[in-house]
């Protein structure tokens, strides 16, 4: 069975500091990994994905994530946080051989960037 763990309910970081939002996963086969961001009363916005290739993936709004196969992790990072980055972040996974099955989501991590 596929699963995603986001161990932190809340991450607080000062503006200008680097941020990390953690995600680990479990799938059979090669993983397809995604990060989404959600602002209040809005749908999910795609940030980035890992399918294959370079382990370091760069996405929207200056975010990046590193795929680590040995640690089954896909942590989201940004070198310098902005107050406008404050939102709810979801990590999601699908097994590479699972066809059109839906993404499995983590429980979400609320990021708060303090000015």
Partner 1 sequence: GAVVSQHPSRVICKSGTSVKIECRSLDFQATTMFWYRQFPKKSLMLMATSNEGSKATYEQGVEKDKFLINHASLTLSTLTVTSAHPEDSSFYICSAMSGGGAFEQFFGPGTRLTVL
Residues forming the site for partner 1 (CB under 8 A): 32, 34, 36, 41-46, 49, 51, 90, 94, 99-103, 105-108, 110
Please give the Cα distance from 80 to 93 (Å, whole number): 26
Q: How far is the CB of 105 from partner 1 (least distance, A)?
A: 5
Contact 59, 67 (CB under 8 A): no
DSSP secondary structure of 21-86? E--EEE-SSSEEEEEEEE-TT--EEEEEEESSS-SEEE-GGG-EEEEETTTTEEEEEESS--GGG-
Q: Could you tell me the smallest distance in angstroms from the CB atom of residue 53 to partner 1?
A: 12
Min separation Cβ 101 and partner 1, Å: 8
Q: Which is nearer to partner 1, 14 or 39 (CB)?
A: 39
19 or 89: CB nearest partner 1: 89
- Comparing CB distances to partner 1, the nearer of 27 and 80 is 27
Closer by beta carbon to partner 1, 15 or else 88: 88
């Amino acid at each position: 069975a596929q699963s995603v763990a986001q161990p932190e309910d809340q991450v607080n970081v000062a503006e200008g500091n680097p941020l990390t939002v953690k995600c680990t996963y479990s799938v059979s086969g090669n993983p397809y990994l995604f990060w989404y961001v959600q602002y209040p009363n809005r749908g999910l916005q795609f940030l980035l994905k890992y399918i294959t290739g370079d382990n370091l993936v760069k996405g929207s709004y200056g975010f990046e994530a590193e795929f680590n196969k040995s640690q089954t992790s896909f942590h989201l990072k940004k070198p310098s946080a902005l107050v406008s980055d404050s939102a709810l972040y979801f990590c999601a996974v699908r097994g590479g051989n699972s066809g059109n099955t839906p993404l499995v989501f983590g429980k979400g991590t609320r990021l708060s960037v303090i000015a």
